Every structure is written in structure tokens, then in C-alpha cells.
Amino acid sequence: MNETVLEKARRYEAENGKKIPKESRPVFHLNPYVGWMNDPNGFSWYDGKYHMFYQYHPYSSQWGPMHWGHAVSEDLLHWHHCPAALAPDQPYDEAGCFSGTAITMPDGKQLLVYTGVHKEEKEDGTTIDIQKQCVAIGDGLNYEKYENNPVLTVADLPKGGRKEDFRDPKVFRGKNGTYYMIAVNRDETEGGQVLLFQSQDALHWNYVSKVAENHNRLGLMWECPDLFSMEDKDVLVLSAQEMLPEGLEFHNGFGTFALIGSYNEKTGQFKEETIQSLDYGLDFYAPQSILTPDGRRVMIGWMQNWDTVAPPQMNTRWAGQMSLPRELTMKNGKIYQNPVREILAYRCESPVCEERIICDEEIEIQGINGRVVDMTVDVEAENLSDIYHRFAIQFAKNDRFYTSISFRPTESVLRIDRKFSGSRRGIIHQRRSRVEHENGKIRLRLIIDRYSVEIFVNDGEQVLSAVMQTELSADRITFVASGAVKMKVCHYHLKEE
């Protein structure tokens, strides 16, 4: 019998994934068993485990016809790879199974809702992608595509909606038992819009309303919507293509932000009050979130974005990784993001904690080094009448390479810079963000996991994420000050097994 497209992918990954040495992968960040990964998909709690699916092209370390990769975890940090869940094997999804959601059905089955893409030939002989929503039903390991797919097509779009950009369904169940789907679409002005659909059985859907419209204000097309409540607010998370920078905001081209406001279930409309960027580093896009069984809102994004994807230079046979899972909380109408508390269990027993005054020098502290690290640094001005000019931490460092995070209190600017991280690609390697402070006081928590760093600023007020292609032997950490800085550091190695 001929092998199916899914069987071929499963065989390929089983044969090739095991050849990739464990040491060449991050410890806590989900990465593809083999090949390419982008967006998280179907992030869920099902059958006693966390499930993460992802945009996946097993056959190369470049984007290609999208499959859904699959992994499970008990603590959100150590992931076990499962066989690929979906492959582009039907006429309606032969060009790819794009991003979507997973939801548990009343009969205990898991429903995957995804975007099927196929190519349509135009009169001039060129082709365009046609996008529509499809479902597959399974048991946490194997999934069968629904015989009546697709469940939503371009015919269901409101007037002016483009058929080549209709994707990324996020499905949730209302208190009244109705299933709701929000999906993104491009309107006739090139701008993104979020559309709402509803269904009684998650199989038969109809259009309800426009939840939000971009009007070309925040980028052009929007991707990967997420909608949830926190405290007394509702939050609509979106990732936008082609954003224009405003001050120190939205520098990534492809960036992720939260609209914070209120969602009216009756009208299906979102009223925005404030907007907040979710990452000020280089690499974060298309996140999904879940409510954990113990009631935490946890979000994971793709730790990359379409403008920082350059041809891979590391010869690893895997490309792409997820961000650390972040616990979201809301304080005074602002979202705070911190690493999931599960990471505390992986801190080694003996931290190095020290207080130092550093003045116009670069110092190294014995025992503070490594590439799998959880380190918190508090700094403030040693002399209030003469606030320091600059403080920096350099890490993943050897004689040739380093990545740094630096703060200039007189400008209130924090900067991440991986120019010297060993990248041979001429892409942007630096980002800045504005951090308000008193007397140069700032708290930086760095989580380094071999090939990435995530910096949580002032207990999660901001995050800056960046992948690094630096060789693992570059494991020094130094602290640099111009002016006089009072510094308190607490450094843990994280267990690598």
C-alpha cells in the first residue's frame, strides 16, 4: 500500500529526529523534532497533559508545506515529541495546514480547528492561496479530518473579505455552550480584521460580526488572534504584519501586541482602551494562551519573527523554537509576564548571590557564568546626585562573542544587542525599549537556555526575547558600568538533564 503524506512525515521524523544530539537543542524551549517550526498551534490541556502543536515542515530547516508537529508536557518545560498530527493531504489543504486551535469536546475527543490552504489558478496563469477553516477529530495522538471539511469557506466572509487571507481560527466555548471562533481576514483596504463565527456543534458555523478592524493603523494584515479575560478587562492579542514604528514601539515589522478593553458577547465587538506591546526584543510572534488547570493564564509564542528569519547558519537540522511559557497577570490595567513558576524546580541548589558596587569597570564574579541560567540583577545609582550613565550585562561571552542588555537611565532606554553573538547574517540585531525608573533602579531577570535569552524587566512589566546562534563554549557573564552602580545579583544554573 502507498504511504500517506502523514505516514511519510511520521517515518521521516522518527528516522531523522533521533539523529539530532540532545546537546544541540535548548533544554526548556520546545523545538521541532526535526526540520522547521513556526507558530504554536492548539496549545491545550488534554487528557492530563499539556499539548502543543506547531507549524512544522519536517523535511528541511526552511518553511514549506505546513504540517502540524505535536509535543506533550507535564510541566510546560520538558516536552516529549509525538508523531506529526496533521499533514497537507487533502485537496482543500494540499498547500498547507496553517495555524489553529485545539478544544476538548463533550464526548472527550479533541477537536483541532485549522486553516486549510489550496492553490487556485487565476486567468493569467498565476496562482493564489485560498484559505478556509477545517477540523480534525482525535484522541491526543491520531486525528482524522472531518469528511465535510472545510467548515468555513470564503463564501462565509463578509463583503470585501479577501479569500487569500482568512486564517488562524481561535475557538472557545461560551458559558451558554455555544462555540465561538475568531479568525483573521484581510479587508479590501489591505488591513486586518478579526471576524466572529458561532456554532452549536463546532462543525456547522455561521458568521456573526467583526470583532475588531485595523484600518491600517497597527500594521497591515493581522495574524493569530487570541481573546481572554483578565481581572475586569478583556484582552485581544494579535500579531501584525508590516508594522510602522512609532517612537520606540513596534520596531519589529512583524510584532505582537495586546488590545486591552472590553468584549461585548452580545454584539461580538471589542472596544479597545489601551494597547500594549508584548515583547520588545527581536524574536516573539504569534502566541497562544491557555488557562491551566490551576487557573493561570499562560502564553507561549514562536521565538522568532518573519523579519528575523534568515537562512540558518547553525548546522543543526532543526530551526525555530518556542518562547518560555509566560504567566500573565494584570496590574493597573497592564499585562505583566513572568516565566512559569515551574522553572523554579530546575534551579540548582546553590545560587551565587552577591552585592557589589561597580564603578567605571567591567567585572566578572566567580561562579556566575553558563548557558542555562536563571539570574536576577537589581541595580540602582550608588550616588543619587550623580546617577550612573550606563549599566550592561554581557553574556554568552568569550573573547570574540557576546550578547548584551544595557540600560541608560538618563535616556530611560534599555537595549538588547546581539550584534556580536556570532551571527553571520546582516539582519537587525538590536532593539530598544523605554523603561521608566527612579534613580536608575531596574530589575532584570535573564533566562538563558543555550540558544536564547529572555529578559523580564521589573517583575514582568516588559519582556525582551532574542535567539542567539553563539557557540556554547561562550559562557562567560560580565557586568559593566560607566558611573557608579549598586548591584545585587542572584544567579542559578538551571538543571540540564
Active site members = 39
Are the CB atoms for 425 and 411 separated by under 8 Å? Answer: no
Binding to ligand FRU by CB under 6 A, coded x per residue (else -) over 49-68, reads ------x----------x--
Please state, in angstroms and as integers, the Cα–Cα distance from residue 277 to each residue in 208, 258, 319, 348, 464, following that order.
Answer: 28, 6, 25, 33, 11
Q: What torsion, rounded to 10 degrees, do the Cα atoms 81, 84, 86, 90 define?
A: 170
Q: Which is nearer to ligand FRU, 57 or 371 (CB)?
A: 57
Q: Which is nearer to ligand FRU, 309 or 416 (CB)?
A: 309
User: How many residues in the shown chain lie near ligand FRU by CB under 6 A?
Assistant: 13
Instruction: Return the bridge partners of 375, or none.
Output: 446, 491
In the set 67, 118, 167, 326, which binds ligand FRU (CB under 6 A)? 167
Are the CB atoms for 311 and 36 separated by under 8 Å? Answer: no
**Maximum Cα–Cα distance for the chain, whole Å?**
80
State the minimum distance, in angstroms, from the CB of residue 120 to ligand FRU. 18
Residue 115 sits in the site that holds ligand FRU (CB under 6 A) = yes
Q: Is the C-alpha dihedral spanning 80, 289, 148, 164 positive or negative?
A: negative
State the minimum distance, in angstroms, from the CB of residue 179 to ligand FRU. 20
State the minimum distance, in angstroms, from the CB of residue 285 to ligand FRU. 6
State the minimum distance, in angstroms, from the CB of residue 44 to ligand FRU. 17
Q: Which is nearer to ligand FRU, 66 or 157 (CB)?
A: 66
In the set 31, 44, 61, 99, which binds ligand FRU (CB under 6 A)? 99
With b meaning 16 or more CB within 10 Å and e meaning fewer, what string describes 54-91?
bbbbbbebebebbbbbbbbbeebbebebbbbbbbbbbe
Q: Which is nearer to ligand FRU, 282 or 405 (CB)?
A: 282
In the set 9, 26, 34, 39, which binds ligand FRU (CB under 6 A)? 39
State the minimum distance, in angstroms, from the CB of residue 333 to ligand FRU. 28
Are the CB atoms for 337 and 461 separated by under 8 Å? Answer: no
Residue 85 sits in the site that holds ligand FRU (CB under 6 A) = no
- Neighbour order of strands in the sheet with 206-213: 166-173, 179-186, 192-199, 206-213
177-236: contacts with ligand FRU (CB under 6 A): 223-224
User: In angstroms, rounded to a whole number, what is the distance separating the alpha carbons of residues 150 and 133?
Assistant: 6
Nearest by Cα to 482 from 340, 374, 387, 385 = 387
| Residue carrying the nine cell digits 471539511 | 149
Residue 113 sits in the site that holds ligand FRU (CB under 6 A) = no
State the minimum distance, in angstroms, from the CB of residue 85 to ligand FRU. 15
DSSP string computed for 364-377:
--TT-B-SEEEEEE
Q: What are the residues whose beta carbons fall under 8 Å from the beta carbon of 176, sequence distance 6 or more?
A: none
Binding to ligand FRU by CB under 6 A, coded x per residue (else -) over 397-436, reads ----------------------------------------
State the minimum distance, in angstroms, from the CB of residue 41 to ligand FRU. 8
Binding to ligand FRU by CB under 6 A, coded x per residue (else -) over 143-162, reads --------------------
Radius of gyration of the chain from its Cα atoms, rounded to whole angstroms: 23
- Name the residue number minimizing CB distance to ligand FRU: 98
Binding to ligand FRU by CB under 6 A, coded x per residue (else -) over 256-295, reads -----------------------------xx---------
**Strands 318-319, 297-302: pairing kind:** unpaired
State the minimum distance, in angstroms, from the CB of residue 21 to ligand FRU. 27
End-to-end CA distance of the chain: 41
Q: Which is nearer to ligand FRU, 301 or 409 (CB)?
A: 301
User: In angstroms, rounded to a whole number, what is the distance separating the alpha carbons of residues 169 and 98?
Assistant: 9
Q: Which is nearer to ligand FRU, 195 or 224 (CB)?
A: 224
Q: Which residues bind ligand FRU (CB under 6 A)?
A: 38-39, 55, 66, 98-99, 115, 167-168, 223-224, 285-286
